[in-house]
Amino acid sequence: MDQEGYNKRRDYLVLYQSHLDKFISPLFAPEGKRILVLGCGDGAEVLWLLKRNASYVLGLDPADWCYDPLMDLLKTSGIDPEGRLDIQRKLTTDIADGEFEPFDYVLSHNVMEHVFSLSHTLASCKRFIPNKYGRIIIFADPLFYSSAGAHLEHVGLQPWGHLTLSQEAVRALASEHDYYHYRNWLNGMTLTSFLDGVREAGLCLERLEIVPDRQFYNFQHYRGLLPSGIKPFDLLCEGVSCVLAFPENL
């Protein structure tokens, strides 16, 4: 990673802490807990958890990330990750039974909208939280049919542009990397399909909150452009946060 790339990733990690404060801190308290992070990316959630005194964090992500910015930020924050942090380029299904001690929480932040085997992935978490009070914490945003569902607002795509413009027009705005991500790494998840995945995984909802679309009150300006077959319910639900439990954990 060159210096410019390093600076951008470091700035992103710092900036994203306020987002986690807003959307994750109301869901659980990480202090003294063992936490498994699904799709840890470049470590924004890892930094947030260790700064809030999680006892141990395991980050899983199949992508090849550079963690130098994370490690430097941990150091400047006075946090020694030795014995408290492990990051592995794996999926939950790659972890052998008994490879790690049980966790208190599984955390997934802005990952479920990229997971194509949603119910299978959620069900695979069961063996990591076998103890009573073990929970899965999920925040997912933006959902696909929301105004920012293409994850391309940074290139100037108008609200719901991925649903109103031709694919050629969308491709002209985005870089090759961003367009590939939009076309291949989003699962089209809606609130309804997410809840279906939760149900199929055998989970119970302990807490559920919805994030209304950021363009909720401007919807009438765009409604006439949108395909008639897409329900307003899906167009105006931008995100979901929840606490999930297996029946055995209750």
Q: What is the CATH number of domain 1-109?
A: 3.40.50.150
**Separation between Cα atoms, residue 82 and residue 39, nearest integer Å:** 21
φ, ψ for residue 33 (rounded to 5)? Answer: -110, 155
Query: Which pair of tokens denotes residue 81?
Result: 């990750």
User: What distance in Å separates the CA atoms of residue 56 and residue 34, rounded to the nearest whole number?
Assistant: 5
Can you give the pLDDT at residue 120? 96
Query: How far apart, in whole angstroms, are the C-alpha atoms of residue 235 and residue 238?
Result: 8
Q: 82 exposed, middle or buried (CB, 10 Å; 0-12, 13-18, 19+)?
A: exposed
- Strands 105-109 vs 34-38: parallel, antiparallel or unpaired: parallel
Stated pTM of the model: 0.95
The full set of domain ranges for the chain reads 1-109, 111-250
- Hey, what are 40's tokens? 């840890």
Q: What is the pLDDT along the chain (250 residues), one digit of tens a residue?
A: 788 888 889 999 999 999 999 999 999 999 999 999 999 999 999 999 999 999 999 999 999 899 999 999 999 999 999 999 999 999 999 999 999 999 999 999 999 999 999 999 999 999 999 999 999 999 999 999 999 999 999 999 999 999 999 999 999 999 999 999 999 999 999 999 999 999 999 999 999 999 999 999 999 999 999 999 999 999 999 999 999 999 999 9
Give the C-alpha separation, 245 to 250, whole Å.
7
Q: Are strands 237-245 and 135-140 parallel, antiparallel or unpaired?
A: antiparallel
